[in-house]
Amino acid sequence: MNKLISADLPRVLKSRMLLIVLILTVAMAVGSVLSAFVESNQSETVFLTSSCNLILFTGMMLPVFTGGLSAMIIAGEFSSGIIRNKFVMGHSRKNILCAWTLIYSFTTLITFIVYVAAFFITLGVTGVDLSSFDGCVIATNLLLVFCFWLKFQMFSLLMICIYPDAKTAVIIYLLNNCTMVPIILASMSDTQSTAMKVLSRFFIHGYTAAEGFSLAYEYDKPWLTAVCAIGLGVVYWLLARYYFEKKDLK
């Protein structure tokens, strides 16, 4: 697997698509803060609340880009036939999938760090007083968001293992958007339902929408939500492995 990672990681890190994703990430983080700044009408409290809401919201959109990145690059391996070389050289399907998982989890981490850094740097540039933030709550929520990003990356791997085509990135985008809105609406309209609460722990949209919908809000049992999200990610990965092991490749 080390050989696969050492061959693919530099290629992915140098890819134009990753650069585009990072630029989009920075743009969305900076854009979220700046739009909140404009709308706050110089009220620091409103500004902080709005930017924390917006950054969480855009944070839910961004996994589509990181997931799309892996879908596009892996689809490229299938369409160019590069994946054939990996098989011929004796790399097992399990190792190939594990290498993809590690590489694209790493790119997800990079994108996440860039996103968070861009958010806080922009906040700092606006001169806002960040001392009012509860650092522990923010860090917990950020880690939770990252768990959701990873879970989405596993979903993306599953989709590309089922349907290895560049169009899969579009399918991932559509599925994300199609599920996000109903879950947010269901969570907002039925916050008392136990079933909805359980379901929300698997989808950050519902989890955050049901309560504060802010990066600065202290949510109920975040560790349980993280476990649920990662658990679902593991299920996606196992399904991806099942499909990939069974798949006849051309």
Partner 1 sequence: MEYVLRTDSVCKQYKNFKALSGLSMNVPKGAIYGFVGRNGAGKTTLIRIICGLQMPTGGSFEIFGVKNDDPDITKSRSRMGAVVESPSLFPEMTAEENLKYQYRLLGMPDYKGIPELLELVGLKNTGKKKVKDFSLGMRQRLGIAIALCGDQDLLMLDEPINGLDPQGIIEVRELILRLNREKNITIVISSHILDELAKLATHYGFIDGGRIVREMSAEELEDACRKSLRVNVTDTAALSGVLDDMGMEYTITDDNNAEIYARPNISELVFALKDKGCQLVSCSEREETLEGFFISLVGGEKHE
List the structure tokens of 66: 């990181």
Cα Rg of the chain, angstroms: 19
Which amino acid does the sequence have at 237? W
Please report whether residue 80 would count as binding partner 1 according to CB under 8 A: yes
Interatomic CA distance for residues 161 and 165, integer angstroms: 9
Instruction: Find tokens 């004796």 and name the residue.
Output: 90
| H/E stretch holding 20 | helix 16-39
Q: How far is the CB of 132 from partner 1 (least distance, A)?
A: 48
| H/E stretch holding 233 | helix 222-246
Site string for partner 1, 85-104 (x = CB under 8 A): xxxxxxxx------------
Q: How far is the CB of 82 from partner 1 (least distance, A)?
A: 5
Site string for partner 1, 219-248 (x = CB under 8 A): -----------------------------x
Please report whether residue 166 would count as binding partner 1 according to CB under 8 A: no
Interatomic CA distance for residues 173 and 152, integer angstroms: 11
Among 84-92, 110-118, 140-148, 161-169, which window interacts with partner 1 (CB under 8 A)? 84-92
Binding residues for partner 1, rule CB under 8 A, total 23
Q: How far is the CB of 100 from partner 1 (least distance, A)?
A: 14
Q: What angle do CA 170, 83, 102 make, to 5 degrees?
A: 70
Q: How far is the CB of 195 from partner 1 (least distance, A)?
A: 39
Please report whether residue 136 would count as binding partner 1 according to CB under 8 A: no
Instruction: Find tokens 């299938």 and name the residue.
Output: 78
Residues forming the site for partner 1 (CB under 8 A): 2-4, 6-7, 10-11, 80-92, 248-250
